[in-house]
C-alpha cells in the first residue's frame, strides 16, 4: 500500500474565547488515499472548516497529527508550511474569492504568476483549466459577468493552477442553488480523473454525497465512516 495523501490521527482543537471553551474536534482520525474523492459531511458547526484548516496548515491543533503527502505538518517551520500551501494543496472556499477586476482567465493565472511560470506555459495551463471546468468560452468575462456556479468553477480552476496533489474544498456549493450545486461534485470527479488530484470536500448537503468514493461523518468532534448514498 502506498502512503495515504492525508492521514489524520487523534486531532483535537478547542477554541477559547474568554472563559468559554468550544471543543470543535475531539480526537478525529481518518485517512484518504491518493486519487480518492472523499466527502466530509456534518451539520453546520460540526467542525468541518476547523478540520480542513488544520489539514491545510492554516491553523494549529491542540493535539494529534496531520500528515499530508507523508509530511507531518505540525512540526513544519513556517517557510515549509508556506511551500506546502503553495505547491501541494489547493483551496476552494464557500465564497469564490475571485478578484473582481480580473477576467476568469486572469484569475486562474494569478497563482501561476506567483509561481513564476513562463508566460507561454501560463496561457496553455489557463486554457486547459478553463476547458476542464467548462468555461473555455468565458475566459474574458469578469466575475460579475458570470453566474454563481460559473464563479465557483473559476475558483476550482484557480485552485488547480499549480497542480496541487490535494484539493481541499470547504462547502464549495454553500452559496449555490441546488441544481447548480449538483453539478459541482461531478466536476470534482472529473478533476480527480484528469488532474490526478486527491479531493477532500466538506459539505452539509446530503444531495452531493452520491458522487464521492467515501463519505466521512463528522459528529461530536470525531469521524465515523458512513456508506455512500445510492444515486
Task: Using CB under 5 A, list all residues that contact Mg ion.
Answer: 48-49
Identify residues 9-68 at the interface with ligand ADP (CB under 6 A): 15, 17, 22, 24, 42, 44-50
C-alpha cell at 109: 493565472
Q: In terms of CB distance, is 2 or 17 closer to ligand ADP? A: 17
Q: In terms of CB distance, is 60 or 194 closer to ligand ADP? A: 60
Least distance CB 49 / ligand ADP (angstroms) = 3
Q: In terms of CB distance, is 18 or 77 closer to ligand ADP? A: 18
With beta carbons less than 8 A apart as the criterion, state whether 146 and 138 touch.
yes
Least distance CB 179 / Mg ion (angstroms) = 22
Short-list 101, 146, 153, 165, CA closest to 129: 153
With beta carbons less than 8 A apart as the criterion, state whether 151 and 35 touch.
no
Rounded CA separation 99/77 (Å) = 30
Per the DSSP assignment, residues forming a β-bridge with 39 are: 201, 215
Least distance CB 151 / Mg ion (angstroms) = 19
Helix (H/G/I), strand (E/B), else coil: 165? coil
Does 111 contact ligand ADP by CB under 6 A? no
The footprint of ligand ADP on this chain (CB under 6 A) covers a number of residues equal to 12
Does 206 contact ligand ADP by CB under 6 A? no
What angle is formed at CA 152 by the lines to CA 147 and CA 154, rounded to 5 degrees? Answer: 95
Q: In terms of CB distance, is 45 or 119 closer to ligand ADP? A: 45
Rounded CA separation 105/118 (Å) = 15
Least distance CB 170 / ligand ADP (angstroms) = 7
Short-list 54, 27, 52, 86, CA closest to 171: 52
Q: List interacting residues with ligand ADP (CB under 6 A).
A: 15, 17, 22, 24, 42, 44-50
Amino acid at each position: 500500500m502506498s502512503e495515504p495523501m492525508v492521514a489524520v490521527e487523534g486531532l483535537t482543537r478547542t477554541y477559547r474565547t474568554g472563559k468559554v471553551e468550544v471543543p470543535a474536534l475531539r480526537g478525529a482520525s481518518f485517512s484518504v488515499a491518493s486519487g480518492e474523492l472523499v466527502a466530509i459531511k456534518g451539520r453546520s458547526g460540526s467542525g468541518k472548516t476547523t478540520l480542513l484548516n488544520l489539514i491545510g496548515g492554516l491553523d494549529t491543533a491542540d493535539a494529534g497529527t496531520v500528515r499530508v503527502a507523508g509530511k507531518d505538518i505540525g512540526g513544519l517551520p513556517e517557510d515549509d508550511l508556506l511551500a506546502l500551501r503553495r505547491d501541494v494543496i489547493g483551496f476552494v472556499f464557500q465564497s469564490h474569492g475571485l478578484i473582481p477586476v480580473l477576467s476568469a482567465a486572469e484569475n486562474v493565472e494569478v497563482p501561476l504568476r506567483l509561481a513564476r511560470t513562463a508566460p507561454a506555459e501560463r496561457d496553455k495551463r489557463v486554457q486547459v483549466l478553463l476547458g476542464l471546468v467548462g468555461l473555455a468560452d468565458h475566459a474574458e468575462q469578469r466575475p460579475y459577468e458570470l453566474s454563481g456556479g460559473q464563479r465557483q468553477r473559476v475558483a476550482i480552476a484557480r485552485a488547480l493552477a499549480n497542480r496541487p496533489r490535494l484539493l481541499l474544498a470547504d462547502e464549495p456549493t454553500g452559496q449555490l442553488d441546488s441544481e447548480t450545486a449538483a453539478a459541482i461534485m461531478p466536476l470534482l470527479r472529473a478533476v480527480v480523473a484528469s488532474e490526478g488530484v486527491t479531493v477532500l470536500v466538506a459539505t452539509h448537503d446530503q444531495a452531493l454525497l452520491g458522487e464521492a468514493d467515501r463519505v466521512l461523518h463528522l459528529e461530536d468532534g470525531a469521524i465515523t465512516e458512513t456508506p455512500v448514498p445510492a444515486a
